[in-house]
Homo-oligomer: A and B are copies of this chain.
Amino acid sequence: MSKICTEELIRELSLLKTEGMYLNDFLHTWDKTDQEIDAVFTVAEILKEMRKDNISTKVFDSGLGISIFRDNSTRTRFSYSSACNMLGLNVQDLDEGKSQIAHGGETVRETANMVSFMADVIGIRDDMYIGKGHAYMKEVAQSVDIGHKEGGVLEQRPTLVNLQCDVDHPTQSMSDAMHIIDQLGGIQNLAGKKLAMTWAYSPPSYGKPLSVPQGIIGLLTRFGMDVTLAHPEGYEVMPEIEKIASINAENSGGSFTKTNNMAEAFKDADIVYPKSWAPFAAMEKRTNLYGERDFDGIDKLEKELLAQNAKHKDWECTEELMASTREGKALYMHCLPADITGVSCEQGEVAASVFDRYRVPPLYKEASYKPYIIAAMIFMSKFKNPADTLQGLLNRAGKRIF
C-alpha cells in the first residue's frame, strides 16, 4: 500500500471522536462508542500497512508492557508480545508463582502498583471463573488509578487491555471482526449479512470460556448484521450480554435471534462460528463450589456436564450443514485451536474436510489480526491525538529493518 493510502486512513481516523479512549482501559467492546470501535480497526490497519511498508511504528523509546496470564495462552501471549514490541514496549510477565503475592499482606492494589512504576500498559487474561476475571481487572484499574492520581506514586497511568475475561474477549472479537471486514471488502458490507454463532460439541473439555460467543454477539450486532445465537437448551450465555446484543441490533438496524436448532442457524448464513462453550449456570455453580473448596462437588459437576455434552454430539459443523449456508460458501470461523472430528478427537466441533478447506489462509488470517488489534488498543489509550502521532511516524520514516 502506498503512503498516500495510509495517509487517507489517517485522515479518516482524525474525523472520529475518540477522546474518551485516552488514558482509558479496553475491557469490553460495549463500553466503547461506534466511533471508538471504528478507530481501533483503522489504527490496526494503519499499523499493519506501515509495518508492511517497513516503516517503524516505535512510539516508545522505553517502557514496560506488563502481562498477567492467569490461564495458559499461546496466541494471545504472542500477540500481546508482538503488539508491545512493534510499539517499543518491553514485556515483563508477572508470574504469580515466582512472586511474593501469596505472601502475607500483599493485595491486588499493592501488587498492581508495585509492578507499574514504569509500566505503560497492563494486559490481563483471567477467564477461569465466572464473576472473577472482569472484577479482578476493575480492581487492578482502580488500583493504578489511585497510584497515579491520588498518590503521585505512578508517573504514568498504565492502561489495561483485557486479554480475555469471564465476560468478554475483545481482542478476539475485534480480530474476528477485522477478518470479516477484510473478507467482505469493507465494514459497510456487513449490514444484512447473516452470522451464526453456534455451540458445537467438544468432548475433551466441558468448560470452554463463554467469553468468545459473548464477545461475538456483543460486538458483531453493532454493524447491522443478522446475528443468530444457537445452542442446545441449557447452554445459555449470560443474559446481560444477550440484552446488549439485542440493543446493539436494534440500534444498528440488524437483528439478534436465538435458537436451539443448529441447522436453522446455518441456513443461508454468510458466516458461521461453531464453537464449544460451557453453560453459564454451570460455570457459576463451579465458581461457587471452587469458592467453598468443594472439589468433590466440582468433580461431580464435571461428570454431569460431560454426560450432558454427550447428548449433543450432533452439534457438529458438517459438510451437509455447510452446504445449507448461502451458496454453500459461508465463511467458517474459529478462534483456534478447534476440536476436529477424527483428528484431535473421535468426534468434535467440526468435520476435518470443512476445517481443512478453511485452514490456510482463512483461519490463520483470522488470527493474524490480533497483534495489530492489541497494538491499536494500546495506541488509542496512550496518545491524545492518534492521527497526528501516526502522521508523525509516517513523516519520521524510520525503517523497521535497516
* Residues of A in contact with B (beta carbons under 8 Å apart): 51-52, 56-64, 69, 72-75, 77-79, 81-82, 85-86, 88, 90-92, 94, 98-101, 103-106, 110-111, 113-115, 117-118, 120, 146-147, 150-155, 202, 204-205, 336-340, 343-345, 348, 360-361, 364-365, 367-368, 370-371, 382, 389, 392-393, 396, 398-402
Contacts and interface: CB of A to CB of B under 8 A. Distances in A.
Contacts of A204: 104
B117 A400 contact: no
Given A99-B73, A147-B360, A368-B153, A104 B345 contact: yes
A153 B402 contact: no
A64 B77 CA distance: 13
Indicate how many identical chains form the complex: 3
A340 B106 CA distance: 10
Contact of A85 (B118, B150, B153, B400): B118
A152 B179 CA distance: 13
A14 B339 CA distance: 51
A396 to B, nearest CB: 8
Given A81-B90, A154-B368, 15 more contacts: A58-B61, A61-B399, A62-B86, A63-B85, A73-B100, A74-B94, A74-B100, A91-B92, A100-B337, A106-B337, A113-B364, A146-B360, A150-B361, A151-B365, A389-B402
Contact of A105 (B86, B115, B337): B337
Contacts of A94: 74, 78
Given A337-B105, A367-B114, A392-B402, A360 B151 contact: yes
A362 to B, nearest CB: 9
A106 B75 CA distance: 11
Given A204-B104, A361-B152, A400 B61 contact: yes
B110 A336 contact: yes
A51 B400 contact: no
Which of A86, A360, A393, A396 has the most chain B CB atoms closer than 10 A to its own CB?
A360
A114 B348 CA distance: 22
16 contacts: A51-B155, A56-B61, A60-B400, A64-B81, A78-B94, A90-B90, A104-B204, A105-B336, A105-B338, A105-B339, A105-B344, A110-B336, A113-B367, A147-B360, A154-B368, A389-B402
